[in-house]
Structure 1
């Protein structure tokens, strides 16, 4: 779910099955900048329902499999895309449930971002792929094994325009 309404955001946080994004209602980007791309259970794609609201957008993926009720372990996999404001200088991806393996990719084509520093707060050793300075190639962090809640990944960046403002030494 993505929303510009803080009350809807706080209410959605109480749902343990929900992943919620809050967008500022006075930012250049709105809650429509978030898109759930796919959702699967045990490798089987699940139908996704999208609902637009005046202050945001909600996606619902209800597994057609009985995996969650069978008492067996099951794998949930999903990917999403979101637009973020480059002037924000950072993006945090929070791991809020025990997760077996994670892969995060940040694409910054056409954003005016010169340099990105990825930081991980994962409970396993990650693999980090960095592009060359000034390159528009995506930067990715991935890790195998179990990752515990309260872990995450942060991308911090510098804009090209900011580098041009620095005094030359």
Structure 2
């Protein structure tokens, strides 16, 4: 299943370089997680069709700071790949900036869960998950961010062709909090679930 993620937030960068790693080794993943917020790590268990080293499996598409695109470098190794972004001088001024990062990845539909963690104190946080080209029928959101006011969850209308769900929090969020998406596919729904139009015609 192809998943596109757009992540936007306001923060004061604590390092001049941001890294986005996708790895298949659990020990390496645990080690890289200690390097937050400089490194964001995505774990991809080695399964058929899922190779953490391949650009088709995970790719950082864009990172902007206050709307300015930042150059992206990619490197690979035996257990995965890393995208490195050297932030420009204005981003390293010690003042709050608006960061937007977009990446895509793949995940088995039968895994039924994606989790995104907040790496550092963050304000004005939003996360958009696009699952248009999938067989996902229902998707639920749970979070541990506990902001005040509560996070706002919006879904694209059924009448539009795309399927996007967004989570937005305006207040400050603490590290290690996060959001989980869990889903059911079309063939997993109870057979008794039918569109209202079909049910109505049978009743008549």
The answer, yes or no, to whether TM exceeds 0.5 is: yes
Q: Higher relative CO (CA 8 A, sep ≥ 6), structure 1 or 2?
A: 2
TM-superposed CA distance for 1:108, in Å, is: 1.9
Taking only aligned residues, the RMSD between alpha carbons, in angstroms, comes to 2.6
Of 22-31 and 49-58, the range deviating more from structure 2: 22-31
Question: What is the number of equivalent residue pairs in this alignment?
Answer: 167
Alignment gaps of 5+ in structure 1:
none
TM-superposed CA distance for 1:150, in Å, is: 2.4
Deviations 1:80-131, CA, capped at 9 Å, x for gaps: 2222211011111111211112221222233221111122322242221124
Q: Does 1:18 align with 2:29?
A: no
User: In the alignment, what sits opposite 2:179?
Assistant: 153
TM-score, structure 2 normalization:
0.70
Distance 1:46 1:136, change over 3 A: closer
Q: Does 1:163 align with 2:186?
A: no
Distance 2:39 2:24 in 1: 16
TM-score, structure 1 normalization:
0.83
User: In the alignment, what sits opposite 1:82?
Assistant: 105
Question: Is contact 1:28–1:85 with CA below 8 Å preserved after alignment?
Answer: no
User: In the alignment, what sits opposite 1:98?
Assistant: 121
TM-superposed CA distance for 1:137, in Å, is: 1.4
Distance 2:61 2:86 in 1: 15
Distance 1:14 1:150 in 2: 11
Distance 1:110 1:72 in 2: 39
Distance 2:64 2:130 in 1: 23
Of 95-104 and 115-124, the range deviating more from structure 2: 115-124
Alignment gaps of 5+ in structure 2:
1-20, 194-204
